[in-house]
Amino acid sequence: MPDDTANTITDPETLMEELAAIRQRGYAIDDEEIEVGLRCVAAPIRNHTGRVIAAISVAAPVQRMTKKNVQTTAPTVVAAADAISRRLGYLPSLSAALMAE
């Protein structure tokens, strides 16, 4: 496994804040956290119960995956993850109802 970079989140409180932000926006961003010069956008894939079972991502060198490109790429990654999830039987409204029980 690669070493931490200067961008790697190592503080537990900061990590919890980032996880909350990821849940809110529906995707994660790796901004040179695992490797300097590499940026990634990822979205969860859910099964029929709504449980996250995998993820799909797009990664590129920071020169090609600028912060602006992250904002335009993220909806496509999320849409692909949602399409896969639906093929696996995920229905957002049913999942929300099951989780409320």
Does the residue 48 lie in any domain? yes
Provide the mean pLDDT of the chain. Answer: 90
pLDDT at res. 3: 73
Q: What pLDDT is recorded for position 93?
A: 74
Q: Residue 47 is part of a domain; what is its CATH number?
A: 3.30.450.40
With a CB cutoff of 8 Å and minimum separation 6, the contacts of 81 are 43, 44, 45, 55, 56
Spacing of C-alpha 27 from chain mean position: 3
Residue 2 in domain: no
User: Is the pTM higher than 0.85?
Assistant: no
Domain presence at residue 67: yes
Domain that holds residue 83: 12-100
- Sign of the torsion formed by the C-alpha atoms of 92, 95, 99 and 79: negative
Q: How many domains are contained in the chain?
A: 1
- Which residues of the chain have a pLDDT value below 70? 1-2, 94-101
Tell me if 1 is assigned to some domain. no
